[in-house]
Structures are given as structure tokens and as C-alpha cells.
Structure 1
């Protein structure tokens, strides 16, 4: 069996998987340009999910399984995969620790006035009158309380926060005080001190938020987006922040990336920009390979115990 990867991992990860699967022919490449010729012969393809087009799928006659080493799958040619009956799996869930820690760090930065303290330190200003807040008893609304959102909620509960969860079906979550369906979200936005979105990009979530949602929030609310930038149009969010509909926005994702130099978000005191890195961690690839190895055992044993199988008709 030939497995081709457009991802070139660390040598120790390559050696580990080759040792565990000695009868498999692994080929690792630095990008699809190098991998394409081998890809057309591959039975299994490992990718970040951003380098395939419909033509690739149609020309890869032996392809039976695509392992996506990411949770985001916006650019996957799902229809072509569905037509071919190709198995798709991803590494959903490995991001939950870094993304949850990132979210809590932003909330703590806000209530503990970290930016003001650092600026005072640079200016050698001793000011003990800076108003310091707490997360305790604040309300967090998690838009998309799945694997990542659930970990954010778990950490928030450790800080004694109240948690409202929003998901597709309104199913209860062990770390949410209340959970509601996504179409009930508007009724609960005014209760939240912090609103964090970890929603993926799907047909249902693209441009889900508009100016009306922000008008329903408290003026003191803080919005954090670590999910996908096309949750809301940048121009609408810019208008919201210029009008100070809410107090602050922490934005790790944008409708257009990278965020262009000169964009007003860079200069706004009430907006904090980070370059789509909330999920980045040194442990990203080792965790991804643990899921890949489990799924490869499952695939070779013709079992059904796959981690994170994807429905290509839904895109998740």
C-alpha cells in the first residue's frame, strides 16, 4: 500500500510511523507540487486539506482515503470525494488545549488590564488605580460548544464563570450551565460578558453573524473569534467596532487573510489582532500522527473504528 503525504513532518515522526507500519510505503513531500505525481498513484493521501481540487480527485484512480491533518476543511472538494466514495478523516479535537488556553489568556488579559500594565511599565509609571476585574461570576457564551468549545467551557468553570453553550441541536454539555440551539442564540447574547466563536466554516455558519447580533450584546461585551473569519463580513465587524457597539474584539481569524497592512483593525484600541495562531503548538503534529496511526490501524484491519470520520455531503 502506498501512502503519499504533502506534509513533510519531523524525521522522528516519519521514522516512528514507518517502524510501526513496515509493510506500508510512505512518501513524504514538501507540498503538493512535489507530491502530485505520486499522489495520482496513492491509495491514502495525507494533507492539510488546502491543496486538492476536483480534478485531482478525479485523476487519482487508486485513492480511497484522505487523512486531513487539520480541523478546517473549507477548501476540500467534498462533492468529488462523495461521488467517489472516498473516506475522509481529520484531526478534530487536537486543537482544544492550545485554543482553550489562548481564549482564557485573552479574557484574562482583558479583565486584568495586561496591556495597560505593560504600557505603564514601558513608561515607568506606577499606577495602582487601574481598575482590575475578575472572570469569576462573568458569563461566557460559547458559540460552537463541541470539542474545542467544551474545553474552553471547562477552563471557564475553573474560573467560576457562568457558561452558556450554543450548538446545532441544543444538546446539553457537561461544562455549560445552559445549552441552546443555534437558532436561539439571539435570545441569549445580552446575557454574555464574553462571546467566543469556535465555529467551523460550513454552509450553515458562513456569515452567520451580522450587525444585529452585536446590537443585542452588552456595550461592555467582549467578542473573541478563533473559529473562522467568514463568520461575519470584515466590513460589518469594522462598523460595529467603529461605533463601539461592544467594548473589545479579539480577532484571530479574518474574512481575508493575511489581514492587509493598513487595515483599520491594526490601529484600533478596541481590537486586538493575532495572525490565526490560536491552534498552533509544538505538540500539533505529534497529536495529529497519533490519530493518523489509530486510523491507519483501523483502515488496514478493515474495521470501522475511525476517529473523526467526515460526512462529505455536509463538510463535517
Structure 2
């Protein structure tokens, strides 16, 4: 069994995998450029997904399974993968703790005027007139009710918040008071104080939020996007903030990354920019490899019950 990794894996995890699976041959590479020379002989590939192309899949003549060590898979060549009947699993769910903490921490910073407090501190300015807000008892809408959305909802409950969700199916999910289908979004926007988007990038979610949606929300609403940058056009967010339809936007993902130095978001008072780090955690690799190992046992035993097996025809 030849297992190739184009994702850079730490030494302790490399050692552990080789010791636990002595009958498998692991080839660990720093990137796809280094891994490419071995790809024709690999049956299993570990990758972050963005380094795969149609050409590489064609070269990987023995490939049976791709383990994506991340949740985002929107840039993968799904058509050729589907044509070859290659199984794809990902690390969906491992981001839920850091991303939920990020969401709550950023919303708290907006409510407690952290930007202004830091500016005042730098200026040695004692100003008790800064207007503070509370999150307790407010209403949050979470777009995307999967593992990350559920963890955000669970933490929001600690603030006695009413939590609504929007998803493709609209099915009931733990920690949500109410869930609606995507085409019912407008019905829950008028009473919403916070909107948190954790939507993936698919044909159904591209430009999911429109200016009309922001117009329907109360003008004190805070919008936070930590899913994918193409869920809403940046010009739409900018217009909504500047025209007072949104009180604040917290953005961790963008249509083009890295965000250009001259982008207007940087200078906008009511926009908070973070560099796509909501999911960063010292436990990221450990959690992703735990999913890989569980699936590897299933693979080696000839099983079929895989964790996070993707529907490659849909891209998630």
C-alpha cells in the first residue's frame, strides 16, 4: 500500500503513522512539486486539495482514495475524479472549535468596541463615553448548520441567544431554535441581530447574500463571514456598510486572497479584516490525521463506512 502526502506533515505525526502501519509505505513530501515524482504509484493521496489538477489525476493511474486534510475542496478537479471513480474524504468538522471561538470573540469585540478601546489606549485617552452593547438575549442567524454552525450555535446559547439556521435542507439541528431552507432566508432576516456565514463555496452558495438581504436586516445587524469569500460580493458588503444597512462586517474570507493592500476594506471603520485564520489551531493536523486514520482502518479492512465521504458530483 503506497500512501503519498503532498501536505507537509510534522515529524512526530510521520513517525507515528509509519509505526502504526508498518505494512504501508508512506512517502511524505513538502508540496506537490516534490510529490509529483511518486504520484503514479500512489494508491492513497493526502493533500490540502488546492494542489490537484486534471493532469495530476491522469498521472495518478493507481489512485483510489484522496484524503483532503481540510474542509475546503472547492478548487479540486471533481469531474476527472468522478470519471475515475476515486473516493474523496475530507476533514470536515475539525475546524468547529477554533472557528466557533473566533466568531464569538469577534462579535464580542464589535459589541464592546475593542477597536476604539485600542485606539484610545494608544492615544492615552480616558473616554468613558464609548457606547457598549450586549450580546445576551439577541438573535443570531447562522448560514450553514453543519459541524461549525452547530458549535457556533452551542456557544451562542451561553449568551441566552435565539439561534436560527439556514441550510439547503432546512432540517432541524441540535442547538438551533429554528432552521429554514435557503429560499426561506428572507423570512428570518428582519429580526436578526447577528448573521454568521459558514457556507462552503458551491454553485448554490455563490453570491448567496445580496444587497436586498442586507436591506431587510435591521440596521444594527453585524455580518460575519468565515465560510467562503464568494458567498457575497465585496462591493455589496461595502455598499451595505457605507449606506448604513449593516452596522459592522467582520470578514475572514474574501473573493481574492490575500486581500490587496489598497483594498477599501482596510480603511473602512465598520469593517474588521482578518487574514483567513478563523480555523487556525495548534491541534489542526492532529484532528485531521485522526479522521484519516479512522478511514485508513476502514480502507484496509475492506469496509464502506467512511467518515466525511464526499459526494464529488456536488463538491461537498
TM-score range for the pair, normalised by the shorter chain length? over 0.9
Aligned to 1:197: 197
Give distance in 2, aligned partners of 1:300 and 1:193: 49
Aligned to 2:265: 265
Query: What is the CA deviation profile of residues 46-77 of structure 1, one whole-angstrom value per residue up to 9, with x for unaligned ones?
Result: 00000111121122110000000010011111
Greater shift after overlay, 236-245 or 290-299? 236-245
Structure 1 position 128, deviation (Å): 2.5
Q: Is the 8 A contact 2:139 2:163 kept in 1?
A: yes
Structure 1 position 197, deviation (Å): 0.2
Query: What is the CA deviation profile of residues 201-220 of structure 1, one whole-angstrom value per residue up to 9, with x for unaligned ones?
Result: 01110111111111111111
Structure 1 position 227, deviation (Å): 0.3
Query: What is the CA deviation profile of residues 97-134 of structure 1, one whole-angstrom value per residue up to 9, with x for unaligned ones?
Result: 00000000011101112222222222222223322221
Q: Is residue 282 from structure 1 mapped to residue 282 from structure 2 by the alignment?
A: yes
Structure 1 position 14, deviation (Å): 0.4
Structure 1 position 78, deviation (Å): 0.8
Aligned to 1:30: 30
Greater shift after overlay, 242-251 or 64-73? 242-251
Q: What TM-score results when the alignment is normalised by the length of structure 1?
A: 0.98
- Aligned 1:151-166 pairs, distance under 5 A: 151-166=151-166
Greater shift after overlay, 152-161 or 206-215? 206-215
Aligned length: 316
Give distance in 2, aligned partners of 1:44 and 1:233: 37
Give distance in 1, aligned partners of 2:285 and 2:249: 30
Structure 1 position 41, deviation (Å): 1.2
Give distance in 1, aligned partners of 2:305 and 2:61: 25
Structure 1 position 159, deviation (Å): 1.2
Aligned to 2:82: 82
Give distance in 2, aligned partners of 1:230 and 1:8: 27
Q: What TM-score results when the alignment is normalised by the length of structure 2?
A: 0.98
Q: Is residue 182 from structure 1 mapped to residue 179 from structure 2 by the alignment?
A: no
Q: Is the 8 A contact 2:39 2:59 kept in 1?
A: no
User: In structure 2, the residue corresponding to 1:117 is in which secondary structure?
Assistant: helix
Aligned to 1:118: 118
Q: Is the 8 A contact 2:226 2:252 kept in 1?
A: yes
Greater shift after overlay, 151-160 or 124-133? 124-133
Give distance in 1, aligned partners of 2:290 and 2:45: 16
Query: What is the CA deviation profile of residues 245-271 of structure 1, one whole-angstrom value per residue up to 9, with x for unaligned ones?
Result: 210000000011111111100000010
User: In structure 1, the residue corresponding to 2:180 is in which secondary structure?
Assistant: strand
Give distance in 2, aligned partners of 1:229 and 1:40: 34
- Aligned 1:41-190 pairs, distance under 5 A: 41-190=41-190
User: In structure 2, the residue corresponding to 1:189 is in which secondary structure?
Assistant: coil
User: In structure 2, the residue corresponding to 1:285 is in which secondary structure?
Assistant: helix
**Structure 1: unaligned runs, 5 residues or longer:** none
Q: Is the 8 A contact 2:68 2:88 kept in 1?
A: yes
